[in-house]
Amino acid sequence: CMTTQLKMSASESIGQGMNPAQKEAVLYLDGPCLVLAGAGSGKTRVITQKIAYLLRECGYMGRNVVALTFTNKAAREMDERVKTLVDRKLSKGLIISTFHSLGVKMLREEARNAGLKPTFSILDADDAMSIIQELLATTDKARLRHVQGIISLWKNALLEPDDAAREAVTPGDVEAANIYRSYAATLAAYQAVDFDDLIRIPALLLASNEEVRTRWQNRVRYLLVDEYQDTNVCQYRLVQLLTGSRAMFTAVGDDDQAIYAWRGATIENLAKLTTDYPNIKLIKLEQNYRSVQRILAAANQVIEKNPKLFDKKLWSDLGVGEPILVSAMDGEEQEAESIAMKVSASRFERQAQWKDFAILYRSNHQSRILEQALRNLKIPYTISGGQSFFDKTEVRDVLSYLRLLANDDDDPAFIRAATTPKRGIGQATLQVLGQYAASREISLLAAVAETGLESLLAPRQLDPLRTFAEFIRRMQWRAGRGAASGKDAAPAEPAGVILDDLVEAIQYERHLFELFEERPAQTRWQNVLELTGWLKRKAEEDNMTLFDLVQHVALVTMLERGEEEEPDAVKMSTLHASKGLEYPHVYLAGVEEGLLPHLGKDDEVGDPARAAENLATRIQEERRLMYVGITRAQRSLNLSWCKRRRRAREDLVREPSRFIEEMGLGDVRVQEDEATAAMNPKERMAMLKALLKK
């Protein structure tokens, strides 16, 4: 992209403070490039420096460079770093986003080519689940999740309903394939897409439409992709089609951290790059800037038991570090208390902060007893992967009405509100309404009032629709949106009054008590009262109309999903959710056979060879998960396992995880916590208080 002399001056300014492998990855622009970035090896720095190099030194326009990653947090972090490296004028139009955000952008621009109306709706997992539940006619959550999961895997593998039907073998898969066909038809009728479609449809569109493909290939002159080992078939295809024959891209990934096979990610995508692009440049980042050598040695020893796609070994010059401790516990209560006490004592001894500590575990169900132990010792903590208040079904139900009152075009809100509580409006009716609205290019709410609908729906289908729409229009009028009906706006009534009337009119409390047992129904109803109470206080304090409130809620829920300033609290997290993060001191709980590795269900009972193959693959994935857990730790690592663990009202005898021996810790003297083992909880608490007084 420039003369040798210019290249040298660029390398001096861009690669400052980088190791030789990092610098090579940043400066390489002679074709496709695969950067194998081990844990803590500075991959984000490589990506952001390469973006800066392209824009500052190589004459690339911001609008011609795209960087893709998997989480909004990672995209924000990259964006912030690039802002410190590149002048705003040079980065104008630069896209740093998730795959899904790019998909939305492409679909909005190419809606007509994709056979969608420009105002198509995006259904989240909850909206999609409602459609599947209606089609399956069941409330069995496990069955619903299985069908939704398998449809998602089919979509990510670019399989259409016909392909899925051919592939389906088990009765469960055959049922899912039938539902997939109806589900796809329903989405098409609604002019809606789900989360998986945001990548699937752009990939299919680029493959089938030369004009669209040429337009996007001309726009995306250089592509950078983070966490490449987490891509699925669909994402790989999108990358191929966006980069075309020029293949100007950098893929950054680590085969040792591929832990998402269960959601369609395929580790083979890294190997596939080397066969699809024979001239690809392979660069390994093996120097780790995060962890002491002892932790890295344990991680290396575990992961070398897996078959290797690419051989690499992490090393660091941060010193040897403390020994890794292994503790055997009698049961999960003792394990939780011991971890809580150790964290509290360690914080005191090291004069550290609470946020320097993380407690990681394989499965969500482990968190409850750990939380209890932290609360008993008044240790502040945050938990990742927990459900947000605004994600609760009952909160989303009520908010769907408010969203629709504020915005006629919010079709997903219309679908949710019209069907919750049940009022005689079914999927068949909504499909006809969706097709009609799409042909007229209007919202579902506007379509209900049109006379053209009368020839398509019987009165028993149309009447409930019109009753619902009239109710919404009446509420809009009361909220000051008379203009929506083509009339002068009436003075708005107080938002609190409308809210109370709305919740009462739809008989939501009765709906909950009909659907659930008394206690869960009461809990859900309390959440609704908490929501309406909060909204009413907000409306009174800040003099907000109902429409102001809806905007405020949208902003709050967006901000809630953003990462605010990290609080000073111990971080509790599943291993999957901890990927990409780091902590000075890590406590890994439940490192035992059957939990880590989690062995899952033996689905291939009739085929021993297939069962053995599945088990081997599962162990490899679990080993990578263990590797991710180990490499979160910067300075100290503590492992614990239970000799007995309670499952379904019985105590199961447990064995230490095979990964402990693989880490080279099989001969380490296990910390039995003799000082605390014989004590009851009160005695342990007294001991801790004495320790903290020292």
Query: Any residues with CB less than 8 A from the CB of 562 and at least 6 apart, and which?
Result: 72, 76
- Burial bucket for residue 656 (CB in 10 Å: 0-12, 13-18, 19+): buried
Sign (positive/negative) of CA torsion 154, 160, 161, 165?
Answer: negative
Q: Tell me the chain's radius of gyration from C-alpha atoms.
A: 28
Strand partners, 68: 97, 225
Q: Are 329 and 335 in contact (CB under 8 A)?
A: yes
Decide: 350 and 652 in contact? Cβ < 8 Å.
no
Residues involved in catalysis: 43-44, 226-227, 257, 632
Helix residue ranges, H only, 86-160: 99-109, 125-136, 141-156
DSSP, res 248: -
Structure tokens at 313: 């070994």
Closest to 342 (Cα-Cα) out of 694, 693, 692, 36: 692
Q: How many helices (H) and strands (E) does the chain have?
A: 30, 16
What is the distance between the alpha carbons of residues 654 and 675, in angstroms, rounded to a whole number?
23
| 650-653/644-647 β-pairing | antiparallel
Whole-angstrom CA distances from 656 to 326, 564, 589, 593, 638 are 10, 38, 11, 6, 14
DSSP code, position 209: -
Tell the burial category of 11 from Cβ atoms under 10 Å away from its Cβ (0-12, 13-18, 19+): middle
CA dist 104 and 114 (Å) reads 12
The 3-class secondary structure across 467-512, one letter per residue, is HHHHHHHHHHHHCCCHHHHCCCCCCCCCHHHHHHHHHHHCCHHHHH
The pair of structure tokens assigned to 281 is 């440049």
Separation CA 480–CA 473 (nearest Å):
11
Calculate the alpha carbon distances from 23 to 10, 95, 612 in Å: 11, 23, 44
Q: What CA–CA distance (Å, rounded) separates 328 from 183?
A: 49
Q: What is the DSSP letter of 160?
A: -
d(CA 394, CA 204): 36
DSSP state of 667: T
**Cβ–Cβ < 8 Å for 532, 499:** yes
How many Cβ atoms sit within 10 Å of the Cβ of residue 215? 15
The greatest distance separating any two alpha carbons of the chain, rounded to the nearest whole angstrom, comes to: 83
> 376: helix, coil or strand?
helix
How crowded is residue 8: how many other Cβ atoms within 10 Å of its Cβ? 11
3-state secondary structure 571-614: EEEEHHHHCCCCEEEEEECCCECCCCCCCCCCCCCCCHHHHHHH
Q: Rounded to whole angstroms, how far apart are CA atoms 308 and 39?
A: 16
For 2, what's the count of Cα atoms within 13 Å in the CB-facing half-sphere? 18
